[in-house]
Amino acid sequence: MTAQLERAPARAPADGGSGWSWSRRPALVALAIGALVSVVVAIGLGPVGVAPLTVIQIIGHHTIGVPGDVTWARTDDAIIWEVRLPRVLLGAIVGASLGVVGTALQALVRNPLAEPYILGVSSGASTGAAAAILFGVGAGLGAHSVSLMAFFGALGALAFVLALARSTGRITPSRMLVAGVAVSYLLSATTSLLILFAESAEGARAVMFWLLGSLANADWSTLPVGYVGMTAGMGLVFWWRRRLDLLALGDETAMASGVDPGRTRLVLVIVVALCVGLAVSLSGGIGFVGLAGPHIARRLVGPIHRHLVPAAAALGALMLVWADVVARMALQPRELPIGVVTGVLGAPVLIALVRKLPHNT
Amino acid sequence: MLAATDLHLRLGAADVLSGAHLSTRPAQVVGLIGPNGSGKSSLLRCLYGMLRPSRGAVLIDDAAIGSLPQRAVARSIAVVAQDAATDGIEITVGEFVLLGRHVHRGDHQGFTDDDRLIALDALDLVSLTGFADRNLGELSGGERQRAMIARCIAQRSPVVLLDEPTNHLDIRYQHEILALVRRLGLETIVVLHDLNLASRYCDHLALLDGGRIVHQGTPDDVLRSEVLEPVYGIEVRRLADGRHSYLAFGPVG
């Protein structure tokens, strides 16, 4: 790993060594470039392959009108612009935001096993989506009724978790974890019940596919909502990067350093839940990225959130974009649920990382 | 100036504090002593807002602590707490101490070279020069405790609260740390278990028993067998070697 000294202090420490603030910029820049290149390359990959240069031309043509002349096949144009680009863009933002909120949660509850779905929000989204798919609940909401119902389900779960976690005053990590796990189980059971009562094999398959996650429903009409919401959420997490550093050191240390742990945790939990609600509404319950992304990022750039948050965003995007490529190419023409891909590919990576952790963790 | 008046605190069914009064004294080290469970740590936690007393007031320069934003409280009060989750954490000592500067910077602002120099100075003061690049989680207990004190020094707040800062330290560092705390010349409140250390390094002692300050005064005034014996429930004798006096505990021979 390359690391470089960031602004040497005016006076060198007595050991004649360096300062201590190691810039992780090279690693961060590599991750960002990797994510951007991946997006372009991944758009070209699929059952119908399109060269990266053509991909860039098609995107340029539709966005800034350059090149003006169409020199590529019309089907390529439709595949790239209507199907793959929104799909890859959705994968990038969902992956990035799962990486970032996973990072935030691990600091908030000081538990390396924390991941975005531990708050029970995704279970709420699943229950909402299952109700919409199986029983047509919320059909009056229009074409995106499943996504909307999923989002409402997520909000409901969040309200439930907060009410439980706050019932005795301020939100503490353990109270939040227990409340999240309890609500998770309750809502998962509800979803299973819905599937049983529906007695529709086709509906059950649709719900199952949704539960495992997929980017196949990406389209231009829902993408802006996802981008605005999740970018705002990630922005706030980054804005409060130092509060996360302090919260990770314990509530008393945070309090003594001017960060009210209760209030900060409450705001961040709501932000995290909204991001997860959006992500799950648009792409189902894609697992593992929110757990493994932050861990891998921490190995690459260290525990300081100034570096960790952007790294987790880039890594999450990278992971999900490539997982989606595998999902649509591995068994073509059949498509795999992306959650299966992230789980199968991610687990070995995480296990390898854990084996390298310092012995006392 | 930090002052607590008539603090009452109920945690669950237990009355942890029942009418405690305590205040800092200009440029003096106030020692908070008392047996286990007498409420020392809880009283300290009330002083910086970590616990909300159920009755009574904590004032910083005559402003109620509850009415101030936490960042303003921290600019006045630096704390070395006991709970820092530093086991296995991979933050470097330099970054950890630098976080003490957070109270002086906005959430979005980066740390300046000045902040880094202040952090380096703080490391020098606790004899951790050269440790800036080491991982906090890899330090020994004593080194870690000194890093926590360095973070508190880097915060540059006029009032300092320390919750048993000599825990995990060997005899040499117990004395070094407390001598350092004295040299800082700040308004200090320190929770101490060791009464001989309290006698040596504190200007003023407050003896807590059952959630109430039962005796206050100079060390000579408080560390007398007739004051200590009923509180600690053990025989206390005072010995002297000419310059210092010492406390010995338990029955003779």
- For A70-95, the pLDDT digits (tens) are 888 888 888 899 889 999 999 999 99
Domain assignments of chain B as residue spans, ordered by start: 2-249
- Structural domain count, chain A: 1
Question: What are the strands of the beta sheet with B2-11, ordered from one edge?
Answer: B14-23, B2-11, B55-60, B63-64
CATH code of the domain in which A125 resides: 1.10.3470.10
Residue A127 belongs to a domain = yes
Q: Say yes or no: A7 contacts chain B, CB-CB below 8 A.
A: yes
Angle of helix A173-198 versus helix A121-135 axis, rounded to 10: 10
Residue A174 belongs to a domain = yes
8 Å CB contact of A242 and B99: yes
CATH 1.10.3720.10 given to domain B2-249: no
Interface of A with B in 296-355 (CB under 8 A): 298, 302-304, 306
Interface of B with A in 165-204 (CB under 8 A): none
Mean pLDDT for the stretch of residues A233-249:
93
Complex prediction ipTM? 0.88
The structure's pTM equals 0.86
Residue A153 belongs to a domain = yes
Residue A21 belongs to a domain = no
Please give the mean pLDDT across all residues of chain B: 89
8 Å CB contact of A258 and B89: no
Least confident of A165-169, A210-214, B165-169, B172-176: A165-169
- Alpha-carbon Rg for chain B, nearest whole angstrom, is 19
Probe site for chain B from A257, A298, A356 (most B CB atoms < 10 A):
A257
Interface of B with A in 106-125 (CB under 8 A): 107-108, 110-111, 113, 116-117, 120, 123-124
CA B61 to CA B75: how far, in whole Å?
A: 12
8 Å CB contact of A252 and B113: no
Residue A16 belongs to a domain = no
Residue A3 belongs to a domain = no
- The closest CB to that of B70, out of A17, A260, A302, belongs to A260
Residue A321 belongs to a domain = yes
- pLDDT in the model for residue B48: 92
pLDDT over 90 percentage in chain B: 54
**Residue A326 parent element (H or E):** helix A305-329
- The closest CB to that of A256, out of B74, B86, B95, belongs to B74
8 Å CB contact of A253 and B83: yes
User: Which chain A residues are Cβ-neighbours of B154 within 8 angstroms?
Assistant: none
φ, ψ of residue A112 to 5 degrees: the values are: -70, -15
Domain span at A45: 27-67+74-343
- pLDDT in the model for residue A14: 36
8 Å CB contact of B99 and A249: yes
Probe site for chain A from B2, B116, B145, B164 (most A CB atoms < 10 A):
B116
Residue A209 belongs to a domain = yes
